[in-house]
Chains A and B, each alone.
Chain A
Amino acid sequence: MNIDPAKNMMDKTATESRRRFLKVLLAGSGALLSGGILAGYCRRIAAHAASNTARGAVSETFIAKAASYDGNLTSVIGSALKELGITSRMIKGKNIVLKPNLVETHIGTGHINTHPAVVLAAAGTFRRLGATTVVVAEGPGHTRDSILVLEESGLADLLYREHIPFVDLNYDNWVTVSNTSRISRLNRLTLPVTLARADWIVSMAKMKTHHWVGVTLSMKNLFGVMPGAFYGWPKNALHMAGIEPCILDINAVVRPHLAIVDGILGMEGDGPIMGRPKHAGVLVLGKNLTAVDATCCRIMDIAPEKVTYLAAASLILGPVNEAGIRQRGERVSAVRTRFALVDDIPAHRRLRS
């Protein structure tokens, strides 16, 4: 992945076809897409878009059982990467950025953030595969005090012990690039240079419900790469431009290489902060974030095609339907764990199959 504006970030052919596709979609709309309009266009075009998207491409996701954070997660992640065809030849000499979900911390609320043990296991795995550098990077969305978040989450001690650098993306040096997909009204996206220098970006999300968009998984996790210095705390500039369109825009530009979702202990109910801990006992991995998130939804007993931004992502970023996802490791049915939704939260309504 490269966010140098002089270089194309996506496969050129795919990019051009997606741009053309979006232009077709947007022609005549005359309006920038808000969440509601986004939902509308999803409904309108879902039928023909499904066949248009990622035609013939099947994405693999891997579900690994992991009962707790005390097990050998390095081995679990290592096996999963092998199953996904990620070899030392691909990683050797590469600069890896691990982007966990660290929103805010409070005593007794470990289910808000990606668990440090998962981050550490991923770092160990990539080092073992020969990565030149492994960096943990995050721009917490609710607080400017990233050091406090690291300390209270328990990640600081582990990073120090293992000599893993941390980059506060909220204040990183920046590069501004064109917002190529233009699903939101934002013309440009300002991104941290740490991403530009990375060969591999790994979105390490937490498996959670979300009270504005239904679920927050590897795609929504990318809000954390947007520097607070330019987008605020919370990243309100993205909220004002529409959370769902921005999820799509950011993913279309950043294009992470891998997702690892921590579903060992997730969050149900009023996520992403005030919900209850929910044990699902899984890690979900894959190279296509949309496919990974769709699989996570199925594990959570949520219909991914009913999550508006995932339905839209299926048009431009990756598969959501089961036919487009080759499931490795555990079967979804073997690990499905119903995450509670809240009737009073509009984004939670009608998310079940």
Chain B
Amino acid sequence: MNNADPSIKPYVRELQTRCLQEGGFSRPDAVAWAILALRAAGETPDLVLKAQKRLMTNQATDGRISLDAGHPGAFWPTALAVLAWQGSAAFENARARAVAFLLQCTGTHWPRKKGSPIAHDTNIKGWSWTADTHAWVQPTALALIALRSAGYHDHERVLEGKRLLLDRQLPDGGWNYGNTRVFGKILRPMPACTAMALGALAMTVPETIVTVSLQYLKEAIKTIRSPLSLGWGVLALSAWGNRPPAAFSWIVEALQRQQRYGLFDTALLSLLLVAFFEPDCLTQAMGESP
């Protein structure tokens, strides 16, 4: 069982040592990812609790969790907080407020203009990274995962978010940050964006709609050892019942690259640990079995 793999323990310990004295970790998104990782590893419930409390101190009255109090518009960590508070009765109220924020929050949208060089449907609301900007693939995927984890499977915003992701799927498969065709040119896919979109769509759209994207990701992930793309890639393929047999050894390889690059950012380290200990976490969080 991968939980017993001794090669992974030092990385869990490394994450634990990053816990701040007052509880939690650095940025709110990193706090949320660290909670998910420590919970997945079955370690140190006291650190998890402290981190969850710390995350609550970052919550504004309207439910959002911003990157920094001085930048309320950078609210993209809100969806991650919903996941980090999932299953903890003490934080149910905070989670509900975060969900409420997500439900009322939209990306800037406008009817598609005639002759526009941009091919995607600009009128689908979706979710943006920051206030007063357009909706993009990754924040929309995160919001969908968070809302589905909170039971909002058929809410109009969820259905609309799915529509946005499918609209932004590239004709040749995969997703990038969220442009499909500009000035007539089809843009190229990116592994992390593809993985996040697939993760958000898992078990809610027929596989035939995303077959080419799944193929792209399955092929791309074979050579990828960067934490963001590999971590999300494993989570997404697991959610679609396509986890590569070598996934765990790839994750260990990726973690070992810290000897080369220096320590990974807490969010990235945590993402790899989540993918290692709980590769099925997306479907578990969203309440359905892979």
**Which A residues form the contact surface with B (CB < 8 A)?**
104, 106, 109, 142-145, 147-148, 151, 156, 160, 165-166, 168, 171, 174, 176, 190, 211, 228-234, 236-237, 239-240, 270, 273-274, 342, 344-345
Tell me which of A104, A240, A344, A345 contacts B133 (CB under 8 A).
A240
Chain A residues near B261 (CB-CB < 8 A): 147, 156, 160, 166
Report yes or no: A148 in contact with B183, Cβ–Cβ below 8 A.
no
Tell me which of B108, B138, B182 contacts A144 (CB under 8 A).
B138
Tell me which of B108, B117, B129, B177 contacts A142 (CB under 8 A).
B177
Shortest beta-carbon distance from B127 to chain A in Å: 11
Q: Interface of chain B, helix or strand or loop or mixed?
A: loop
Q: Which residue of B lies closest to A144 (CB)?
A: B228
Taking A231-B130, A236-B134, A240-B132 as contacts, is the C-beta distance between A145 and B185 under 8 angstroms? Answer: no
Kindly state the separation between the CA atoms of A240 and B138 in the bound complex, as whole angstroms.
18
Tell me which of A144, A176, A230, A344 contacts B183 (CB under 8 A).
A344
Kindly state the separation between the CA atoms of A230 and B134 in the bound complex, as whole angstroms.
14
Shortest beta-carbon distance from A261 to chain B in Å: 24
Report yes or no: A344 in contact with B134, Cβ–Cβ below 8 A.
no
Kindly state the separation between the CA atoms of A166 and B261 in the bound complex, as whole angstroms.
8
Taking A144-B192, A344-B184 as contacts, is the C-beta distance between A229 and B67 under 8 angstroms? Answer: yes
Chain A residues near B74 (CB-CB < 8 A): 229-230
Task: Choose among B27, B177, B187, B257 the residue with the greatest number of A CB atoms under 10 Å from its CB.
Answer: B177
Report yes or no: B191 in contact with A233, Cβ–Cβ below 8 A.
no
Shortest beta-carbon distance from A108 to chain B in Å: 11
Tell me which of B27, B133, B183 contacts A342 (CB under 8 A).
B183
Tell me which of B73, B177, B185 contacts A233 (CB under 8 A).
B177
B206-230 to A contact mask, C-beta < 8 Å, 1/0 = 0000000000000000001111110
Report yes or no: B136 in contact with A142, Cβ–Cβ below 8 A.
no
Report yes or no: A232 in contact with B133, Cβ–Cβ below 8 A.
yes
Taking A147-B261, A176-B70, A190-B71 as contacts, is the C-beta distance between A233 and B226 under 8 angstroms? Answer: no
8 A-B contact pairs sorted by A residue (CB < 8 Å): A104-B176, A143-B190, A145-B192, A148-B229, A176-B70, A176-B71, A237-B132, A240-B108
**Which of B162-180 touch A at CB < 8 Å?**
176-179
Kindly state the separation between the CA atoms of A165 and B262 in the bound complex, as whole angstroms.
9
**Which of B225-260 touch A at CB < 8 Å?**
225-229, 257, 260
